[in-house]
Structure 1
Amino acid sequence: MITKVKKIINYIIDYKNFWALSKYSTRFSINWRDRYPCLYDNSDTTPFDSHYIYHPAWAARAIIKIKPAVHVDISSTLHFCSILSAFVPVKFYDYRPADLKLSNLSSGSANILSLPFASNSVESLSCMHTAEHIGLGRYGDSLDPDGDLKAIAELKRVLAFEGNLLFVVPIGNKPKIMFNAHRIYTYKQIIEHFNDLELIEFALIPDYPSSDGIILDATEEMANKCTYGCGCFWFLKKISECK
Protein backbone atom coordinates (compact mmCIF):
# COMPACT_ATOMS: atom_id res chain seq x y z
CA MET A 1 0.00 0.00 0.00
CA ILE A 2 2.85 2.37 0.88
CA THR A 3 4.53 1.61 -2.45
CA LYS A 4 1.33 2.41 -4.33
CA VAL A 5 0.92 5.72 -2.51
CA LYS A 6 4.52 6.63 -3.33
CA LYS A 7 3.95 5.82 -6.97
CA ILE A 8 0.85 8.03 -7.07
CA ILE A 9 2.73 10.89 -5.41
CA ASN A 10 5.61 10.49 -7.87
CA TYR A 11 3.11 10.44 -10.74
CA ILE A 12 1.60 13.76 -9.63
CA ILE A 13 5.06 15.30 -9.24
CA ASP A 14 6.13 14.04 -12.67
CA TYR A 15 2.92 15.37 -14.20
CA LYS A 16 3.49 18.85 -12.78
CA ASN A 17 7.14 18.86 -13.91
CA PHE A 18 6.29 17.60 -17.39
CA TRP A 19 3.49 20.16 -17.71
CA ALA A 20 5.93 22.90 -16.79
CA LEU A 21 8.40 21.69 -19.41
CA SER A 22 5.80 21.42 -22.16
CA LYS A 23 3.48 24.35 -21.49
CA TYR A 24 5.07 26.41 -24.25
CA SER A 25 4.83 23.61 -26.81
CA THR A 26 1.91 23.51 -29.23
CA ARG A 27 2.52 20.01 -30.59
CA PHE A 28 0.19 18.28 -28.10
CA SER A 29 -2.48 19.28 -25.66
CA ILE A 30 -1.91 18.21 -22.06
CA ASN A 31 -4.79 18.27 -19.60
CA TRP A 32 -5.30 16.62 -16.23
CA ARG A 33 -8.60 15.15 -17.44
CA ASP A 34 -6.68 13.19 -20.10
CA ARG A 35 -4.37 11.49 -17.63
CA TYR A 36 -3.63 7.79 -18.07
CA PRO A 37 -1.49 6.67 -15.11
CA CYS A 38 0.94 3.82 -15.80
CA LEU A 39 2.49 3.26 -12.40
CA TYR A 40 4.26 -0.09 -12.65
CA ASP A 41 6.29 0.00 -15.85
CA ASN A 42 9.46 1.48 -14.31
CA SER A 43 11.22 -1.85 -13.84
CA ASP A 44 14.80 -3.05 -14.19
CA THR A 45 13.88 -5.54 -16.91
CA THR A 46 10.95 -5.93 -19.30
CA PRO A 47 8.44 -8.37 -17.78
CA PHE A 48 6.73 -11.03 -19.90
CA ASP A 49 4.69 -14.21 -19.59
CA SER A 50 7.27 -16.90 -20.33
CA HIS A 51 4.64 -19.45 -21.44
CA TYR A 52 3.20 -17.15 -24.09
CA ILE A 53 6.49 -15.73 -25.33
CA TYR A 54 8.51 -18.92 -25.61
CA HIS A 55 5.98 -21.47 -26.87
CA PRO A 56 4.98 -19.54 -30.05
CA ALA A 57 8.68 -18.87 -30.68
CA TRP A 58 9.38 -22.60 -30.34
CA ALA A 59 6.49 -23.49 -32.67
CA ALA A 60 7.50 -20.96 -35.33
CA ARG A 61 11.00 -22.43 -35.42
CA ALA A 62 9.54 -25.93 -35.78
CA ILE A 63 7.32 -24.87 -38.67
CA ILE A 64 10.29 -23.33 -40.48
CA LYS A 65 11.84 -26.82 -40.37
CA ILE A 66 8.60 -28.50 -41.48
CA LYS A 67 8.05 -26.08 -44.41
CA PRO A 68 4.33 -26.86 -44.87
CA ALA A 69 2.35 -25.58 -47.84
CA VAL A 70 -0.41 -24.60 -45.38
CA HIS A 71 -0.52 -24.69 -41.61
CA VAL A 72 -3.72 -25.25 -39.61
CA ASP A 73 -3.95 -23.92 -36.08
CA ILE A 74 -6.63 -24.75 -33.55
CA SER A 75 -7.22 -22.02 -30.97
CA SER A 76 -3.62 -21.09 -30.17
CA THR A 77 -2.66 -17.53 -29.29
CA LEU A 78 -3.60 -15.05 -32.03
CA HIS A 79 -0.11 -13.56 -31.95
CA PHE A 80 1.23 -16.86 -33.22
CA CYS A 81 -1.06 -17.35 -36.22
CA SER A 82 -0.98 -13.70 -37.24
CA ILE A 83 2.83 -13.46 -37.30
CA LEU A 84 3.28 -16.93 -38.79
CA SER A 85 0.98 -15.97 -41.68
CA ALA A 86 3.64 -13.53 -42.91
CA PHE A 87 5.70 -16.57 -43.92
CA VAL A 88 3.28 -19.51 -44.27
CA PRO A 89 -0.41 -19.58 -45.27
CA VAL A 90 -2.34 -20.21 -42.05
CA LYS A 91 -5.89 -21.39 -41.41
CA PHE A 92 -6.95 -20.53 -37.87
CA TYR A 93 -10.00 -22.01 -36.15
CA ASP A 94 -11.52 -21.27 -32.75
CA TYR A 95 -14.68 -22.02 -30.79
CA ARG A 96 -15.03 -18.23 -30.65
CA PRO A 97 -13.94 -17.14 -34.15
CA ALA A 98 -11.56 -14.19 -34.37
CA ASP A 99 -12.28 -11.31 -36.73
CA LEU A 100 -8.76 -11.28 -38.17
CA LYS A 101 -8.09 -9.70 -41.55
CA LEU A 102 -4.57 -10.39 -42.80
CA SER A 103 -3.15 -11.71 -46.05
CA ASN A 104 -2.26 -15.41 -45.95
CA LEU A 105 -4.53 -15.90 -42.92
CA SER A 106 -8.09 -17.20 -42.78
CA SER A 107 -10.09 -17.41 -39.57
CA GLY A 108 -13.03 -19.71 -39.03
CA SER A 109 -15.27 -21.24 -36.40
CA ALA A 110 -14.68 -24.80 -35.23
CA ASN A 111 -15.35 -27.00 -32.24
CA ILE A 112 -12.23 -28.94 -31.31
CA LEU A 113 -14.46 -31.87 -30.32
CA SER A 114 -15.73 -32.13 -33.90
CA LEU A 115 -13.21 -30.62 -36.30
CA PRO A 116 -14.38 -29.87 -39.86
CA PHE A 117 -11.65 -31.91 -41.54
CA ALA A 118 -11.53 -35.37 -43.06
CA SER A 119 -9.55 -38.00 -41.22
CA ASN A 120 -5.82 -38.07 -42.02
CA SER A 121 -6.05 -34.83 -44.01
CA VAL A 122 -4.09 -32.09 -42.16
CA GLU A 123 -0.35 -32.18 -42.81
CA SER A 124 0.72 -29.42 -40.43
CA LEU A 125 -1.30 -28.82 -37.27
CA SER A 126 -0.92 -26.96 -34.00
CA CYS A 127 -3.01 -26.73 -30.85
CA MET A 128 -1.14 -24.86 -28.15
CA HIS A 129 -2.20 -23.94 -24.62
CA THR A 130 -5.74 -24.96 -25.57
CA ALA A 131 -6.56 -28.58 -24.75
CA GLU A 132 -6.14 -27.99 -21.01
CA HIS A 133 -9.25 -25.75 -21.07
CA ILE A 134 -11.62 -28.06 -22.94
CA GLY A 135 -14.59 -29.20 -20.84
CA LEU A 136 -14.11 -26.71 -18.00
CA GLY A 137 -16.71 -24.25 -19.30
CA ARG A 138 -14.34 -21.29 -19.23
CA TYR A 139 -15.01 -20.30 -22.82
CA GLY A 140 -18.66 -21.24 -23.00
CA ASP A 141 -18.01 -24.89 -23.85
CA SER A 142 -19.94 -27.71 -22.20
CA LEU A 143 -18.67 -29.18 -18.94
CA ASP A 144 -16.93 -32.48 -19.59
CA PRO A 145 -14.20 -34.04 -17.40
CA ASP A 146 -12.90 -35.87 -20.47
CA GLY A 147 -13.19 -32.95 -22.86
CA ASP A 148 -9.44 -32.72 -23.24
CA LEU A 149 -9.14 -36.40 -24.17
CA LYS A 150 -11.84 -36.01 -26.80
CA ALA A 151 -10.00 -32.98 -28.20
CA ILE A 152 -6.76 -34.97 -28.37
CA ALA A 153 -8.57 -37.79 -30.18
CA GLU A 154 -9.85 -35.29 -32.77
CA LEU A 155 -6.40 -33.80 -33.32
CA LYS A 156 -4.99 -37.28 -33.93
CA ARG A 157 -7.90 -38.19 -36.21
CA VAL A 158 -7.45 -35.28 -38.61
CA LEU A 159 -3.64 -35.34 -38.64
CA ALA A 160 -2.33 -36.75 -41.93
CA PHE A 161 0.04 -39.67 -42.16
CA GLU A 162 3.57 -38.23 -41.98
CA GLY A 163 1.90 -35.07 -40.65
CA ASN A 164 3.27 -32.92 -37.83
CA LEU A 165 1.41 -31.84 -34.69
CA LEU A 166 2.65 -29.14 -32.32
CA PHE A 167 0.89 -29.61 -28.99
CA VAL A 168 1.43 -27.43 -25.92
CA VAL A 169 -0.05 -27.76 -22.42
CA PRO A 170 0.88 -26.92 -18.82
CA ILE A 171 3.23 -29.50 -17.31
CA GLY A 172 4.04 -30.31 -13.70
CA ASN A 173 4.91 -33.01 -11.21
CA LYS A 174 1.28 -33.61 -10.26
CA PRO A 175 -1.80 -33.82 -12.52
CA LYS A 176 -4.53 -31.49 -11.32
CA ILE A 177 -7.41 -29.27 -12.39
CA MET A 178 -7.31 -25.59 -11.51
CA PHE A 179 -11.05 -25.10 -12.06
CA ASN A 180 -12.16 -23.44 -14.20
CA ALA A 181 -8.90 -22.12 -15.61
CA HIS A 182 -6.94 -25.13 -16.83
CA ARG A 183 -5.51 -28.59 -16.24
CA ILE A 184 -1.89 -29.33 -15.42
CA TYR A 185 -0.53 -32.60 -16.87
CA THR A 186 2.49 -34.75 -16.19
CA TYR A 187 4.91 -35.54 -19.00
CA LYS A 188 3.98 -39.21 -18.67
CA GLN A 189 0.28 -38.45 -19.19
CA ILE A 190 0.89 -36.62 -22.46
CA ILE A 191 3.19 -39.32 -23.80
CA GLU A 192 0.54 -41.94 -22.96
CA HIS A 193 -2.23 -39.89 -24.59
CA PHE A 194 -0.14 -39.71 -27.78
CA ASN A 195 1.42 -43.16 -27.61
CA ASP A 196 0.37 -43.85 -31.21
CA LEU A 197 2.44 -40.91 -32.50
CA GLU A 198 6.21 -40.45 -32.62
CA LEU A 199 7.73 -37.77 -30.38
CA ILE A 200 10.11 -35.67 -32.47
CA GLU A 201 10.94 -33.06 -29.86
CA PHE A 202 10.03 -32.08 -26.32
CA ALA A 203 10.85 -28.57 -25.15
CA LEU A 204 10.16 -27.24 -21.69
CA ILE A 205 9.45 -23.76 -20.37
CA PRO A 206 10.14 -24.36 -16.68
CA ASP A 207 8.75 -22.46 -13.72
CA TYR A 208 12.13 -22.70 -12.05
CA PRO A 209 15.11 -20.54 -13.09
CA SER A 210 16.69 -21.58 -16.38
CA SER A 211 19.54 -19.81 -18.09
CA ASP A 212 18.15 -21.07 -21.42
CA GLY A 213 14.63 -19.68 -20.94
CA ILE A 214 13.19 -22.58 -22.91
CA ILE A 215 14.94 -25.92 -22.59
CA LEU A 216 15.19 -27.78 -25.89
CA ASP A 217 15.50 -31.58 -25.81
CA ALA A 218 14.18 -31.53 -22.26
CA THR A 219 13.65 -34.69 -20.21
CA GLU A 220 10.82 -36.12 -18.16
CA GLU A 221 12.89 -35.51 -15.04
CA MET A 222 13.09 -31.80 -15.87
CA ALA A 223 9.32 -31.67 -16.40
CA ASN A 224 8.72 -33.38 -13.07
CA LYS A 225 10.58 -30.60 -11.29
CA CYS A 226 7.88 -28.13 -12.36
CA THR A 227 4.68 -27.15 -10.61
CA TYR A 228 3.33 -25.14 -13.53
CA GLY A 229 5.69 -25.37 -16.46
CA CYS A 230 4.86 -25.41 -20.15
CA GLY A 231 5.45 -28.54 -22.20
CA CYS A 232 5.96 -28.23 -25.95
CA PHE A 233 5.51 -31.51 -27.81
CA TRP A 234 6.26 -32.06 -31.50
CA PHE A 235 4.62 -35.26 -32.72
CA LEU A 236 4.72 -37.08 -36.06
CA LYS A 237 2.01 -39.45 -37.28
CA LYS A 238 3.91 -42.33 -38.84
CA ILE A 239 2.06 -44.67 -41.19
CA SER A 240 3.50 -47.77 -39.57
CA GLU A 241 2.39 -46.65 -36.11
CA CYS A 242 -1.21 -46.09 -37.18
CA LYS A 243 -1.93 -49.49 -38.76
Structure 2
Amino acid sequence: MFVACFQNDSEQTQLELERLTRKQTAMVGFYEEFKAFNYLLAEEGRSSISQEEQYPCLDDRTEQTGFDRHYIYHPAWAARVIAARNPEHHVDISSTLHFATILSAFVKVEFFDFRKAPLTLSNLTSNEADLTQLPFRSDAIKSLSCMHVIEHIGLGRYGDPIDIDGDKKAARELSRVLAPDGDLLVVVPVGRSRIQFNAHRIYSHEQVIEMFPDLILVEHALIPDGEAEDGLIENPDSKLISSQSYGCGCYVFSKR
Protein backbone atom coordinates (compact mmCIF):
# COMPACT_ATOMS: atom_id res chain seq x y z
CA MET A 1 0.00 0.00 0.00
CA PHE A 2 2.82 2.42 0.93
CA VAL A 3 4.68 1.70 -2.33
CA ALA A 4 1.54 2.24 -4.41
CA CYS A 5 0.80 5.54 -2.68
CA PHE A 6 4.40 6.67 -3.14
CA GLN A 7 4.25 5.85 -6.86
CA ASN A 8 0.98 7.75 -7.27
CA ASP A 9 2.41 10.79 -5.45
CA SER A 10 5.54 10.63 -7.59
CA GLU A 11 3.54 10.49 -10.81
CA GLN A 12 1.38 13.40 -9.66
CA THR A 13 4.47 15.44 -8.81
CA GLN A 14 5.97 14.73 -12.23
CA LEU A 15 2.77 15.81 -13.98
CA GLU A 16 2.69 19.00 -11.95
CA LEU A 17 6.32 19.76 -12.82
CA GLU A 18 5.60 19.23 -16.51
CA ARG A 19 2.58 21.55 -16.29
CA LEU A 20 4.65 24.26 -14.59
CA THR A 21 7.41 23.89 -17.20
CA ARG A 22 4.89 24.33 -20.02
CA LYS A 23 3.47 27.40 -18.30
CA GLN A 24 6.92 28.93 -17.79
CA THR A 25 7.81 28.30 -21.45
CA ALA A 26 4.53 29.88 -22.54
CA MET A 27 5.16 32.93 -20.34
CA VAL A 28 8.63 33.42 -21.83
CA GLY A 29 7.09 33.35 -25.31
CA PHE A 30 4.36 35.76 -24.18
CA TYR A 31 6.85 38.37 -22.94
CA GLU A 32 8.95 38.08 -26.11
CA GLU A 33 5.88 38.70 -28.26
CA PHE A 34 4.70 41.49 -25.94
CA LYS A 35 7.97 43.33 -26.41
CA ALA A 36 7.91 42.71 -30.18
CA PHE A 37 4.34 44.03 -30.45
CA ASN A 38 5.23 47.18 -28.49
CA TYR A 39 8.27 47.68 -30.72
CA LEU A 40 6.05 47.58 -33.81
CA LEU A 41 3.67 50.07 -32.21
CA ALA A 42 6.59 52.43 -31.48
CA GLU A 43 7.79 52.19 -35.09
CA GLU A 44 4.36 53.34 -36.20
CA GLY A 45 4.35 56.17 -33.69
CA ARG A 46 1.51 54.62 -31.75
CA SER A 47 1.09 54.34 -27.98
CA SER A 48 2.61 51.28 -26.36
CA ILE A 49 0.67 48.83 -24.19
CA SER A 50 1.42 49.06 -20.48
CA GLN A 51 2.12 46.05 -18.30
CA GLU A 52 -1.14 46.74 -16.47
CA GLU A 53 -2.99 45.97 -19.71
CA GLN A 54 -1.37 42.58 -20.19
CA TYR A 55 -3.87 39.74 -20.43
CA PRO A 56 -1.94 36.47 -20.99
CA CYS A 57 -3.97 33.72 -22.72
CA LEU A 58 -1.56 30.81 -22.57
CA ASP A 59 -3.74 27.79 -23.32
CA ASP A 60 -5.27 28.69 -26.67
CA ARG A 61 -2.50 27.66 -29.10
CA THR A 62 -3.83 24.25 -29.98
CA GLU A 63 -3.61 22.30 -33.22
CA GLN A 64 -7.38 22.22 -33.44
CA THR A 65 -10.13 24.42 -32.03
CA GLY A 66 -11.24 22.70 -28.85
CA PHE A 67 -14.85 22.39 -27.72
CA ASP A 68 -17.02 20.59 -25.20
CA ARG A 69 -18.49 17.75 -27.26
CA HIS A 70 -21.59 17.36 -25.11
CA TYR A 71 -22.52 21.04 -25.23
CA ILE A 72 -21.74 21.61 -28.90
CA TYR A 73 -23.29 18.47 -30.38
CA HIS A 74 -26.44 18.08 -28.30
CA PRO A 75 -27.92 21.57 -29.00
CA ALA A 76 -27.04 21.09 -32.68
CA TRP A 77 -28.87 17.74 -32.61
CA ALA A 78 -31.88 19.28 -30.88
CA ALA A 79 -32.07 22.22 -33.28
CA ARG A 80 -32.19 19.81 -36.22
CA VAL A 81 -34.96 17.77 -34.58
CA ILE A 82 -37.04 20.87 -33.93
CA ALA A 83 -36.36 22.34 -37.38
CA ALA A 84 -37.68 19.15 -38.97
CA ARG A 85 -40.90 19.41 -36.93
CA ASN A 86 -41.25 23.21 -37.24
CA PRO A 87 -43.46 23.86 -34.18
CA GLU A 88 -45.11 27.25 -33.67
CA HIS A 89 -44.09 27.30 -30.02
CA HIS A 90 -41.46 25.51 -27.93
CA VAL A 91 -40.92 25.17 -24.18
CA ASP A 92 -37.45 24.51 -22.82
CA ILE A 93 -36.73 23.54 -19.23
CA SER A 94 -33.27 24.58 -18.03
CA SER A 95 -31.21 23.49 -21.05
CA THR A 96 -28.11 25.48 -21.97
CA LEU A 97 -29.05 29.13 -22.55
CA HIS A 98 -27.29 29.05 -25.92
CA PHE A 99 -29.96 26.67 -27.18
CA ALA A 100 -33.03 28.64 -26.11
CA THR A 101 -31.64 32.00 -27.20
CA ILE A 102 -30.61 30.86 -30.68
CA LEU A 103 -33.76 28.81 -31.21
CA SER A 104 -35.85 31.89 -30.39
CA ALA A 105 -34.63 33.50 -33.61
CA PHE A 106 -36.86 31.04 -35.49
CA VAL A 107 -39.41 29.71 -33.00
CA LYS A 108 -41.28 31.32 -30.12
CA VAL A 109 -39.60 29.95 -26.99
CA GLU A 110 -40.59 29.88 -23.34
CA PHE A 111 -37.58 29.15 -21.14
CA PHE A 112 -37.87 28.02 -17.51
CA ASP A 113 -35.16 27.46 -14.92
CA PHE A 114 -34.99 26.81 -11.17
CA ARG A 115 -33.19 30.16 -11.01
CA LYS A 116 -34.62 32.75 -13.37
CA ALA A 117 -32.28 33.80 -16.18
CA PRO A 118 -32.55 37.58 -16.80
CA LEU A 119 -32.77 37.30 -20.58
CA THR A 120 -34.14 40.04 -22.82
CA LEU A 121 -34.69 38.93 -26.41
CA SER A 122 -37.56 39.05 -28.86
CA ASN A 123 -39.53 35.82 -29.23
CA LEU A 124 -38.20 34.56 -25.87
CA THR A 125 -39.63 34.63 -22.36
CA SER A 126 -37.77 33.49 -19.26
CA ASN A 127 -39.35 32.43 -15.96
CA GLU A 128 -38.75 30.30 -12.87
CA ALA A 129 -40.02 26.75 -12.52
CA ASP A 130 -39.42 23.70 -10.34
CA LEU A 131 -38.95 20.73 -12.64
CA THR A 132 -40.48 18.41 -10.05
CA GLN A 133 -43.66 20.58 -9.99
CA LEU A 134 -44.07 22.19 -13.40
CA PRO A 135 -46.64 25.01 -13.68
CA PHE A 136 -48.46 23.53 -16.66
CA ARG A 137 -51.66 21.54 -16.99
CA SER A 138 -51.38 17.93 -18.11
CA ASP A 139 -51.10 17.17 -21.84
CA ALA A 140 -50.44 20.85 -22.59
CA ILE A 141 -47.12 21.15 -24.44
CA LYS A 142 -46.56 19.97 -27.99
CA SER A 143 -42.84 20.73 -28.26
CA LEU A 144 -40.73 20.36 -25.12
CA SER A 145 -37.06 19.97 -24.26
CA CYS A 146 -35.04 19.35 -21.12
CA MET A 147 -31.39 18.68 -21.92
CA HIS A 148 -28.51 17.91 -19.57
CA VAL A 149 -30.79 18.77 -16.65
CA ILE A 150 -32.54 15.72 -15.20
CA GLU A 151 -29.27 14.18 -14.00
CA HIS A 152 -28.75 17.09 -11.57
CA ILE A 153 -32.17 17.20 -9.92
CA GLY A 154 -32.07 16.38 -6.21
CA LEU A 155 -28.29 16.55 -5.80
CA GLY A 156 -28.29 20.10 -4.42
CA ARG A 157 -25.81 21.40 -6.97
CA TYR A 158 -27.92 24.40 -7.99
CA GLY A 159 -29.60 25.07 -4.67
CA ASP A 160 -32.42 22.60 -5.22
CA PRO A 161 -33.54 20.34 -2.32
CA ILE A 162 -31.76 17.02 -1.79
CA ASP A 163 -33.97 14.25 -3.19
CA ILE A 164 -32.71 10.80 -4.13
CA ASP A 165 -35.61 10.44 -6.59
CA GLY A 166 -35.46 13.99 -7.97
CA ASP A 167 -34.62 12.80 -11.47
CA LYS A 168 -37.53 10.36 -11.54
CA LYS A 169 -39.95 13.06 -10.34
CA ALA A 170 -38.67 15.38 -13.05
CA ALA A 171 -39.18 12.70 -15.70
CA ARG A 172 -42.75 12.11 -14.50
CA GLU A 173 -43.52 15.83 -14.72
CA LEU A 174 -42.14 16.09 -18.25
CA SER A 175 -44.25 13.10 -19.25
CA ARG A 176 -47.34 14.59 -17.60
CA VAL A 177 -47.23 17.96 -19.37
CA LEU A 178 -46.33 16.59 -22.80
CA ALA A 179 -49.29 16.74 -25.19
CA PRO A 180 -50.51 13.70 -27.13
CA ASP A 181 -48.51 13.46 -30.36
CA GLY A 182 -46.08 15.97 -28.86
CA ASP A 183 -42.31 15.59 -28.77
CA LEU A 184 -40.02 15.64 -25.74
CA LEU A 185 -36.27 16.05 -26.25
CA VAL A 186 -34.21 14.73 -23.35
CA VAL A 187 -30.43 14.68 -23.02
CA VAL A 188 -28.59 12.96 -20.15
CA PRO A 189 -25.14 11.49 -19.48
CA VAL A 190 -25.07 7.80 -20.40
CA GLY A 191 -22.74 4.89 -19.82
CA ARG A 192 -21.78 2.94 -16.71
CA SER A 193 -24.63 3.67 -14.32
CA ARG A 194 -23.61 5.64 -11.21
CA ILE A 195 -24.12 8.80 -9.18
CA GLN A 196 -21.27 11.29 -8.85
CA PHE A 197 -22.44 13.44 -5.95
CA ASN A 198 -23.24 16.28 -6.16
CA ALA A 199 -22.49 16.82 -9.84
CA HIS A 200 -24.72 14.43 -11.79
CA ARG A 201 -26.00 10.93 -12.45
CA ILE A 202 -24.96 8.72 -15.38
CA TYR A 203 -27.59 6.33 -16.80
CA SER A 204 -27.67 3.14 -18.80
CA HIS A 205 -29.85 3.19 -21.91
CA GLU A 206 -32.39 0.98 -20.14
CA GLN A 207 -32.61 3.37 -17.18
CA VAL A 208 -33.40 6.28 -19.49
CA ILE A 209 -36.24 4.35 -21.11
CA GLU A 210 -37.56 3.23 -17.72
CA MET A 211 -37.86 6.86 -16.55
CA PHE A 212 -40.49 7.50 -19.26
CA PRO A 213 -42.80 4.43 -19.11
CA ASP A 214 -45.78 6.34 -20.53
CA LEU A 215 -43.89 7.62 -23.58
CA ILE A 216 -42.62 6.07 -26.80
CA LEU A 217 -39.01 6.35 -27.91
CA VAL A 218 -39.01 7.89 -31.39
CA GLU A 219 -35.28 8.26 -32.03
CA HIS A 220 -32.03 8.65 -30.16
CA ALA A 221 -28.39 9.49 -30.71
CA LEU A 222 -25.11 9.15 -28.85
CA ILE A 223 -22.16 11.46 -28.41
CA PRO A 224 -19.57 8.85 -27.43
CA ASP A 225 -16.53 9.02 -25.19
CA GLY A 226 -13.26 10.16 -26.69
CA GLU A 227 -12.82 12.48 -29.63
CA ALA A 228 -16.11 11.48 -31.29
CA GLU A 229 -14.49 11.75 -34.71
CA ASP A 230 -17.72 10.77 -36.45
CA GLY A 231 -19.82 13.16 -34.38
CA LEU A 232 -23.24 11.89 -33.38
CA ILE A 233 -24.05 8.20 -33.70
CA GLU A 234 -27.68 7.83 -34.74
CA ASN A 235 -29.86 5.18 -33.03
CA PRO A 236 -26.99 3.20 -31.44
CA ASP A 237 -27.71 -0.09 -29.70
CA SER A 238 -27.99 -0.24 -25.92
CA LYS A 239 -24.70 -2.14 -25.50
CA LEU A 240 -22.73 0.67 -27.13
CA ILE A 241 -24.47 3.26 -24.98
CA SER A 242 -23.93 1.38 -21.74
CA SER A 243 -20.26 0.74 -22.58
CA GLN A 244 -19.49 4.45 -22.34
CA SER A 245 -17.89 6.04 -19.29
CA TYR A 246 -19.50 9.46 -19.72
CA GLY A 247 -21.27 9.62 -23.04
CA CYS A 248 -24.15 11.92 -23.96
CA GLY A 249 -27.48 10.34 -24.78
CA CYS A 250 -29.95 12.35 -26.89
CA TYR A 251 -33.54 11.07 -26.89
CA VAL A 252 -36.81 12.04 -28.57
CA PHE A 253 -39.93 10.69 -26.84
CA SER A 254 -43.55 11.10 -27.86
CA LYS A 255 -46.92 10.57 -26.20
CA ARG A 256 -49.38 8.56 -28.31
Q: Does 1:104 align with 2:91?
A: no
CA 1:99/1:226 → structure 2, altered by over 3 Å: closer, same or farther? Answer: same
In the TM superposition, what whole-angstrom CA distance separates every residue of 1:117-162 from its partner, at most 9, and x where no partner exists? 0000010000000000000000000000100000001000110011
Q: 1:26 to 1:230 in 2, by over 3 A?
A: farther
Match of 2:215 among 197, 204, 226: 197
Residue equivalent to 2:66: 47
Give the count of matched residue pairs. Answer: 237
Alignment partners' CA distance in 2, 1:138 and 1:210: 28
Q: Is 1:84 the counterpart of 2:130 in the alignment?
A: no
Q: How does 1:207-226 map to 2 (within 5 A)?
A: 207-226=225-244
Pair 1:121 & 2:140 matched: yes
Q: CA RMSD in A?
A: 1.2
Structure 1 unaligned spans of 5+ = 239-243
Q: 2:30 aligns with which of 11, 16, 23?
A: 11
CA contact (8 A) 1:76 1:129 kept: yes
Partner of 1:237: 255
Task: Report the 3-state secondary structure (helix = DSSP H, G, I; strand = E; otherwise coil) of the residue aligned with 2:135.
Answer: coil
- Verify the 8 A CA contact 1:123 1:164 in the aligned structure 2: yes
SS at match of 2:233: coil
TM-score by length of 1: 0.94
Identity %: 53
Q: Identify if the C-alpha distance between structure 1 residues 103 and 26 changes in structure 2 by more than 3 Å, giving closer, same or farther.
A: farther
For the residue of structure 2 that corresponds to 1:114, the secondary structure is coil
Whole-Å Cα distance in 2 between the matches of residues 210 and 45 of structure 1?
Answer: 14
AA partner of residue 244 (structure 2)? C
> Is 1:69 the counterpart of 2:92 in the alignment?
no
In the superposition, relative to structure 1, how do residues 94 and 205 fare at CA in structure 2: closer, same or farther (>3 Å)?
A: same
CA spacing shift, 1:19–1:230, aligned 2, 3 Å: same
Answer yes or no: is 1:147 the counterpart of 2:166: yes
Residue in structure 2 matched with residue 2 of structure 1 by the alignment: 21
Please list every run of 5 or more consecutive structure 2 residues that lacks an aligned counterpart in the other structure.
1-19
- What's the CA shift string for 1:36-89, capped at 9, x where partnerless? 110010110000000000000000000011111100000000000000001111
SS of the aligned residue for 2:22 comes to helix
CA–CA distance in 2 between the matches of 1:44 and 1:126?
35
Asked whether the equivalents of residues 132 and 169 of structure 2 are also in contact (C-alpha less than 8 Å), the reply is yes
1:217: how far off? Answer: 1.9
- What SS does structure 2 have at the residue aligned with 1:107? strand
TM-score by length of 2: 0.90
> What is residue 155 of structure 2 aligned with on the other side?
136
Contact residue 76 and residue 127 of structure 1 kept, 8 A: yes
> Which residue identity does 1:196 align to in structure 2?
D
* Cα contact 2:221–2:251 (8 A) shared by 1: yes
Instruction: Give the equivalent residue in structure 1 for 2:6.
Output: none
Q: Which moved more, 1:32-41 or 1:22-31?
A: 22-31
Distance 1:89 1:29 in 2: 48
Residue 28 of structure 1: how far off its partner (Å) = 6.5
SS at match of 1:135: coil
Contact 1:123 1:160 survives alignment (8 Å): yes
